[in-house]
Chain A
Amino acid sequence: MLKVDSLTRPPLGPVSFKLPAGAIGIVTGPSGSGKSLLARAIVDLDPNTGEVSWRGRARLKTPAPQWRRWIAYVPAETGWWADRIADHFPPDIDAARLNELLHAVNLPRDALSWPVSRASTGERQRLAFLRALIRDPEMMILDEPTSALDAETRKRVEDVILAERRAGRTFLIITHDPAQAARLGDIFWRMENGRLSPAPDASSLVEIPREGA
């Protein structure tokens, strides 16, 4: 179980919630309400206060790199540090499994040999997901994982997420798409002005457009 207690990183929080291991939690809410700040705070990427534990192991007693290997956060927009896609994957990779995953998310097998500049936004989004997934984290926080994808490819990525959950992986997914929330989610929250409140089900997550938005 992921246990978050009074997590605060202004303007976020305090936020408290529990996500059982093996479940898919969904967080929705208007842009700028603090969803990404919540994700960053959970993986300790910004200075924050509050207690977080994963499967009974306290975050503060865990070295941060180890913590982030347990809980992988894939931001909506991420960076690439080398010229080739392959250089972003570990060298001792399980090639068969990676090929399987590439196929599953509708990417060609030779995508790894591409220069980063050749990959489109949607391709990079899936490659960033795979680059984290292949390192086998126990839990993943995905920020808008399919925002740049067409309906068919989005379904493929969702199928991978569901298969991974069946295999025991835990997910916290930030999404603007109520239909996606309904397809994937077990537990639902809504973020508003830095506060997180539980939502009974996916249908209560329908976006209320903000004024001027």
Chain B
Amino acid sequence: MKAQASYIALSYWDVAASALFLALAAVLTLVLRLGLFRSLLLVALRMVAQLLAIGFVLKMIFQASSGLVTLAAALVMSGFAAREVINRQQRTLAGLWRYGVGPLAMLFTGAIALVYAMTLLLQPEPWYAPRYALPLFGMILGNSMNGVSLGLNAITRTIVRDRLAIEARLLLGMTRWRAFRPFAADALRTGMTPIMNAMAASGVISLPGMMTGQILAGVPPVEAVKYQLLIMFLIAGVVGLGTMVAVFATIARLTDHRHRLRPDRLREPD
């Protein structure tokens, strides 16, 4: 009750006590023989270990407040996101291209948006202050990763599934870009639907997690909303641009200068 302008610090006991209802649910699964107890226990412990670890890592990074350490952390995050984008593809481009197109589209657009926001909008001191840069980069990457991998999956699937239709358009004398137009539009829509749904729902159906967190931490709601808007705009922009770059680069790679399909440049699913 005392802490009105700032956040209420939690003790470890508070945290442990909050697990009461989960423990109750876990015991019930045991009584009802649902066979979920072990995995429920494991994911809960895993979450505790992961979050405590990242808490301490972030603490160290924030204390260091060094450009190099921040960059290293951003690179590690990029690596995980890139791996995720590659692993989520059913079919990927053959050769080194599979490491290039999706991850580069995501990282390039994400990094530009991050630097833009840090240097021109938030302007912390120093501009790369990890307390701002890393959470922001994480939110951008997490969403962009989704959009890019959904878009990539859709466009590579269409090249296999709608091959006759695409070739029919090429045969009628359309350029490869025109021939792909309806299929590229579908892939972009697929990639951007989650973020568009999130924008449409935010504030009405769901309170965005970041905004909720800031409000709990004592930030006035309207200030929290401004932060949330800034971040949603950045995220949506990066999702849109990253997905477009990824989809059009994939089309460029899977066609050639003679405006023909090159499915031979696609690696079949394992």
In B103-131, which residues have CB < 8 Å from any A CB?
none
Decide yes or no whether B174 CB sits under 8 A from chain A.
Answer: yes
In B154-171, which residues have CB < 8 Å from any A CB?
162-171
A45–B182 touching, CB < 8 Å: no
Contact of B172 among A44, A63, A66, A131 (CB under 8 A): A131
A160-196 interface bits toward B, Cβ cutoff 8 Å, 1 = contact, 0 = none: 0000000000000000000000000000000000000
Return the chain A residue nearest B258 by Cβ.
A64
> Which residues on A sit within 8 Å (CB–CB) of B189?
none
Q: A79-B162, A81-B162 known; 9 other A-B pairs, CB under 8 Å? A: A46-B260, A64-B260, A72-B171, A75-B164, A75-B171, A78-B164, A78-B168, A78-B171, A135-B173
Say which size band chain B's interface belongs to: 20 to 34
Contact of B260 among A44, A69, A77 (CB under 8 A): A44
Decide yes or no whether B98 CB sits under 8 A from chain A.
Answer: no
> Which residues on A sit within 8 Å (CB–CB) of B253?
none
Min CB distance B227 to A, Å, is 43
Distance A69 CA – B77 CA, assembled complex (angstroms): 49
Q: Which residues of A contact B (CB under 8 A)?
A: 43-47, 63-66, 68-69, 72-75, 77-82, 128, 131-132, 135
Residue of A64, A82, A132 with highest tally of chain B CB at under 10 A: A64
Return the chain A residue nearest B256 by Cβ.
A47
Q: Which residues of B contact A (CB under 8 A)?
A: 162-175, 182-183, 256, 258-262
> Which residues on B sit within 8 Å (CB–CB) of A135?
172-173
Min CB distance B159 to A, Å, is 12
Contact of A79 among B165, B259, B260 (CB under 8 A): B165
Distance A80 CA – B170 CA, assembled complex (angstroms): 12
B173–A45 touching, CB < 8 Å: no
> Which residues on A sit within 8 Å (CB–CB) of B169?
81
Min CB distance B172 to A, Å, is 6
**Interface SS of chain A:** loop
Return the chain B residue nearest A141 by Cβ.
B171
Distance A93 CA – B115 CA, assembled complex (angstroms): 51
> Which residues on B sit within 8 Å (CB–CB) of A132?
171-172
Distance A73 CA – B164 CA, assembled complex (angstroms): 13
B168–A65 touching, CB < 8 Å: no
Return the chain A residue nearest B257 by Cβ.
A64
Distance A82 CA – B260 CA, assembled complex (angstroms): 20
> Which residues on A sit within 8 Å (CB–CB) of B166?
79, 81
Return the chain B residue nearest A44 by Cβ.
B258
Min CB distance B157 to A, Å, is 15
Q: List 22 A-B contacts (CB under 8 A).
A: A43-B171, A44-B258, A44-B260, A45-B170, A45-B171, A46-B260, A63-B259, A64-B260, A65-B173, A66-B173, A68-B170, A73-B171, A75-B164, A78-B164, A78-B167, A79-B164, A79-B166, A80-B168, A81-B162, A81-B182, A131-B172, A132-B172
Return the chain A residue nearest B173 by Cβ.
A69
Min CB distance A51 to B, Å, is 14
Distance A65 CA – B202 CA, assembled complex (angstroms): 46
Distance A64 CA – B173 CA, assembled complex (angstroms): 8
A65–B165 touching, CB < 8 Å: no
> Which residues on A sit within 8 Å (CB–CB) of B183?
81
Min CB distance B141 to A, Å, is 34
Distance A55 CA – B167 CA, assembled complex (angstroms): 25
Residue of B167, B168, B174, B262 with highest tally of chain A CB at under 10 A: B168
Min CB distance A98 to B, Å, is 15
Contact of B165 among A44, A64, A80 (CB under 8 A): A80
Contact of A77 among B164, B173, B256, B262 (CB under 8 A): B164
